[in-house]
Each structure stands twice: as structure tokens, then as C-alpha cells.
């Protein structure tokens, strides 16, 4: 199999510096890029459409396809926050758990398919998706639909964190052994599946829901197997206060460092309530921040990419699942950083494009995914830059970050397979997946506890 793809603009790196090449052909043979050249190559399939900006496949390293679907269109404008400022403990954790109880495997698969569809249509070739370990259908949907998938089934010390009437959290139970056993079973079933596109990541849920013993054991298990570790860290002031009260005044970053988790194999989501000292510590340890600016902006919080990057922390941009629009998320990262720091020259277009390509590829130890060059894996995201809102187009990188969104995604290739062609997924019936996934989520919305939390 061979495909020749014309790029009016091509995001490349030369001598370690990002650049944009004009009028190049990319030759794909099987799963690899065979050549990047000016002359049109011979190929079985030729895609000669001017006005395309071809990028290394966009990598979305923090997403929640299942739980965030439960919140969609119901938690804006401060809704579902009457008793607690975070919807994590009022909506996402409790209702995703109830969904596992009431939904059939087929219904859970429908939600998973809807999430993967949104990711592909949003321009992602790779995703790291975190979910409760009772939703193995996430792996099934990813394998079926062709995306590159780092699945992160949670482990908890307490999977039953509950909100008290006074708005404080109750942490009960000890689920660590059960969850680690479930994680090991999922790893045995799915690691390396779908011709190597599927990986299983160790995912202790968060610093406040995972105690020291579980975190040490989870990290040791992950490192024995050579897998990545991801968690939520300093995602709220309440979490910071909880960790300080439990662990001798430590911050969440200091807590993870004390336990040996703060290291290059750790990808920590959000970190918005980290101190400057925490960020310097993360940079020194080589950990990665997973910055999801738009999901926090809807609650009035500025999660500024530029703040993390200014401390030298490896920082990538991800969607958190609420809106799987990668270009829209990069636009949010740019705008929110500029407002938060009061400067126009931070979170620049080249920085942000690197954050979801070469930097993200480095964070997962897969450098061949973050570049367009002979021998690289043929994961590509293609943007149609002929749309009028992008013209006149002086600088395609700045135009992309400032003006483009998911509607401009033309094509997505993973392992050389054309998964999105001219804006439509090639493997599946989009309308059927949307209808089935929405119907399954509606069953969760109909639960009395969901009705109570969502009422105005």
C-alpha cells in the first residue's frame, strides 16, 4: 500500500528547529513515511488537494471520553456546583460509577465509540484516555476505530469519595488491591493489541484518592512493566488542603516526590494549584504537565500553559474530554495564557504546535510520532486552510492557532491508514454512533441522583 499526499504547507523540524516547508509531497508506504520531496512520487493512491497544511499527528494526552460525556451541556454557567466547586466529586466520579452499574456492555461501547469519533474528528491521532476500570469497552472502541490509544484505567485507594452535606469530602474504603488486580488483567488483555496501537497506562486517579501504599505499589508495578504513569495533581484547592492535612504540610507535588513518583515517566494532569516551587521541582524531576485550559476556563479558572512552560516543565496541551477539538484547545491555550500573564508574546503558535506533536511524542517516549520525516510513523493530521476565515494567510502556524478549529480538519492518518477523509470517518457510521452513544448517556442523565445534581 502506498499513498502520496500533497502539502501546500508542511510542519517540519530542521536542525532541531520547527519550520514550515512549502509544496511538498509525502509518500506513505504501509505504516511509515517513505519520503518527503518536492517531486510528485508514484503511489497507488494520490491525494493532490492544494491548500492543505499537514502536521505530525496531533497527540491528546489527557482525555475522559466516558465521564466528560456525562457532563456535556449540563455543567456550564456554574451548574452542578452548588455544593462543591468541582464537578469531579458531584458529577464525574459518582455518575460514571453509576453508569457502569446500569448500562450494558453494548451501551458502554456506544459511549466509548462516540468519544473516539469525537477525538478523530477533532484531529487527534493519539489519545491517552483515563476512565474507571469497569469500562474495558474503551479499549475495544479504540481498537475497532483505529486511533492510537494509551488507555489509563484508574486505580483508587478510595473509589467511593463522597460529598458530605456540608460540602466537604468523605474518603472511605480501600479499593487498592481490587483495582490493581483489575488493572493487571486489562494490561494482560490489551497491552500491544491492534498491531501495537494499544497501550495500558498506570493511572492512580489523584493524590487525594490514592494513599502512599497504593501509589508506591502502582509505581513499582508500572516500572516493572515499562509503562507510563498518569494522575491528577493539584487540580483544586481542596485537594491541596487535603494532602497538606494528611501528609505533614506537603503539597501534592511534594507528596508524589516523597513517594518516588515525580519522574520522567509521570504525566500529571492540570497542576493548576501548584506553587512556583512545585513547578520548579517538576522540571527538575523531568515530569510532564498535561495542560487542559478550556475545561477550567468554563468554571472561571485560568490554567495557563505559559505559566508551566515558564518554569521549564515539559508541558503538553490536551482536551480533558469536554470538547475534543485539538485546534480549539490550542487557541484556548494561547488566549488564556496571554490574559493570565498579561503578555502577547507567550504561548506562541510554534510552542503550542510542538506541545501536541514533538513534545507530546517525547513525553510518551515515541519520538517517531512527532515528526514528518523519512522513517517516521505515518500518523498525520491534515488541515484544510482554504476556508475564508483563514485568509489572507501570511503565517500558517499563527493562522492555525488563532483562527482554525475542528471544522477545518480534513484528514487523519494513523499507521498510514486514512481514518478521516475530507472530514468524515472512514471506518464507521457516524450518525449511528452518535445516536447510540447519546441514548446511553441519556440513561445516566435520567437517574434520580443525576437529576438532583443537574437541577438549576
- Cα 86 to Cα 161, 301, 326, 406: the distances in Å are 13, 11, 24, 27
| pLDDT band per the 50, 70, 90 thresholds, residue 172 | confident
Q: What is the SS3 assignment for 251-269?
A: CHHHHHHHCCCCCCCEEEE
How confident is residue 250, by pLDDT bands cut at 50, 70 and 90? very high
Architecture of the domain delimited by 2-55+377-424: Roll (2.30)
Of 314, 317, 313, nearest to 332 (Cα)? 317
Can you give the pLDDT at residue 21? 98
Query: Looking at residues 45-49, what average pLDDT do you find?
Result: 97
| Average pLDDT for 423-442 | 97
Domain ranges of the chain: 2-55+377-424, 58-367
Whether the predicted pLDDT of 132 surpasses 80: yes
Q: Is CATH 3.40.1190.20 the classification given to domain 58-367?
A: no
Quick check: 89 pLDDT over 90?
A: no
Residue 166 class from Cβ within 10 Å (0-12 exposed, 13-18 middle, 19+ buried)?
exposed
Mean pLDDT across 403-407: 96
In the predicted model, is pLDDT for residue 98 greater than 70?
yes
pLDDT-derived band at 331, boundaries 50, 70, 90:
very high
Tens digit of each residue's pLDDT (9 = 90 or more) over 254-280: 999 999 999 999 999 999 999 999 999
Distance, in Å, from the CA atom of 151 to the CA atom of 61, rounded to the nearest integer, reads 10
- Sign of the CA dihedral running 354, 360, 365, 368: negative
The residue-averaged pLDDT of 195-212 equals 96
Tell me the pLDDT band of 167, cut-offs 50, 70 and 90. low
Look-up: residue for cell 462543591? 84
pLDDT of the residue at 336: 98
User: pLDDT-derived band of residue 456, with 50, 70 and 90 as boundaries?
Assistant: low
DSSP string, 210-252: S-HHHHHHHHHHHHHHT--EEEEES-SHHHHHHHHHHTTT--H
Cα distance between residue 88 and residue 96, in whole Å: 10
Judge if 2-55+377-424 and 58-367 fold alike in CATH terms.
Answer: no
Task: Assess whether pLDDT exceeds 80 at residue 164.
Answer: no
Name the band, by pLDDT with cuts 50, 70 and 90, for residue 111.
very high
Alpha-helical regions (H) of 259-320: 276-285, 293-297, 305-310
Coil vs helix vs strand at 186: helix
- Rg of the chain (C-alpha set): 21
The three-state secondary structure class of 295 is helix
Residues in the chain: 456
Residue 367 pLDDT > 70: yes
CA 195 to each of CA 143, 190, 415: distance values in angstroms, whole numbers, following the listed order: 9, 11, 10
CA–CA separation, 366 and 358 (whole Å): 9
pLDDT above 70 covers what percent of the chain? Answer: 98
Average pLDDT, the chain: 95
Which pTM was predicted? 0.96
Amino acid at each position: 500500500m502506498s499513498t502520496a499526499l500533497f502539502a501546500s504547507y508542511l510542519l517540519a523540524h530542521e536542525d532541531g528547529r520547527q519550520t514550515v516547508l512549502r509544496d511538498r509531497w509525502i509518500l506513505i508506504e504501509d505504516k511509515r513515511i517513505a519520503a518527503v520531496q518536492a517531486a510528485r512520487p508514484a503511489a497507488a493512491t494520490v491525494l493532490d488537494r492544494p491548500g492543505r497544511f499537514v502536521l505530525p499527528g496531533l497527540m491528546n494526552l489527557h482525555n475522559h471520553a466516558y465521564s466528560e460525556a456525562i457532563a456535556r451541556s449540563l455543567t456550564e454557567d456554574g451548574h452542578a456546583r452548588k455544593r462543591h466547586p468541582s464537578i469531579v466529586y458531584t458529577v464525574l466520579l459518582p455518575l460514571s460509577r453509576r453508569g457502569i452499574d446500569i448500562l450494558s456492555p453494548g451501551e458502554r461501547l456506544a459511549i466509548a465509540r462516540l468519544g473516539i469519533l469525537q477525538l478523530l474528528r477533532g484531529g487527534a491521532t493519539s489519545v491517552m484516555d483515563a476512565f474507571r476500570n469497569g469500562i474495558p469497552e474503551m479499549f475495544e472502541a479504540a481498537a475497532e476505530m483505529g486511533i492510537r490509544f494509551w488507555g489509563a484505567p484508574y486505580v483508587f485507594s478510595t473509589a467511593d469519595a463522597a460529598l458530605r452535606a456540608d460540602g466537604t469530602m468523605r474518603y472511605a474504603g480501600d479499593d487498592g488491591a481490587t483495582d490493581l488486580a483489575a488493572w493487571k488483567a486489562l494490561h494482560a488483555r490489551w497491552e500491544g493489541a491492534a498491531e501495537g496501537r494499544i497501550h495500558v497506562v498506570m493511572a492512580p486517579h489523584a493524590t487525594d484518592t490514592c494513599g502512599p501504599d497504593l501509589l508506591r505499589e502502582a509505581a513499582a508495578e508500572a516500572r516493572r512493566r515499562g509503562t507510563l504513569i498518569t494522575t491528577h495533581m493539584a487540580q483544586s484547592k481542596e485537594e491541596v488542603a487535603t494532602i497538606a492535612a494528611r501528609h505533614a504540610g506537603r503539597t501534592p507535588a511534594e507528596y508524589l516526590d516523597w513517594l518516588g513518583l515525580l519522574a520522567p515517566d509521570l504525566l500529571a494532569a492540570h497542576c493548576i494549584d501548584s506553587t512556583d516551587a512545585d513547578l520548579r521541582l517538576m522540571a527538575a524531576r523531568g515530569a510532564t504537565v498535561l495542560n487542559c485550559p478550556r475545561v477550567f476556563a468554563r468554571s472561571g479558572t485560568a490554567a495557563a500553559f505559559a505559566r508551566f512552560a515558564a518554569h521549564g516543565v515539559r508541558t503538553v496541551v490536551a482536551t480533558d474530554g469536554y470538547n475534543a477539538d485539538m485546534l480549539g484547545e490550542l487557541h484556548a491555550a494561547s488566549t488564556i495564557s496571554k490574559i493570565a500573564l498579561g503578555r502577547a508574546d507567550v504561548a506562541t503558535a510554534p510552542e503550542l504546535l510542538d506541545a501536541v506533536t514533538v513534545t507530546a511524542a517525547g513525553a510518551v517516549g515515541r519520538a517517531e510520532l512527532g515528526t514528518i520525516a523519512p522513517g517516521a510513523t505515518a500518523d498525520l493530521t491534515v488541515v484544510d486552510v482554504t476556508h475564508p476565515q483563514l485568509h489572507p494567510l501570511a503565517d500558517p502556524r499563527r493562522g492555525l492557532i488563532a483562527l482554525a478549529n475542528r471544522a477545518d480538519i480534513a484528514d487523519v492518518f494513523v499507521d498510514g491508514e486514512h481514518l478521516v477523509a475530507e472530514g468524515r470517518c472512514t471506518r464507521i457510521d457516524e450518525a449511528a454512533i452518535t445516536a447510540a452513544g447519546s441514548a446511553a448517556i441519556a440513561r445516566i442523565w435520567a437517574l434520580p441522583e443525576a437529576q438532583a445534581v443537574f437541577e438549576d
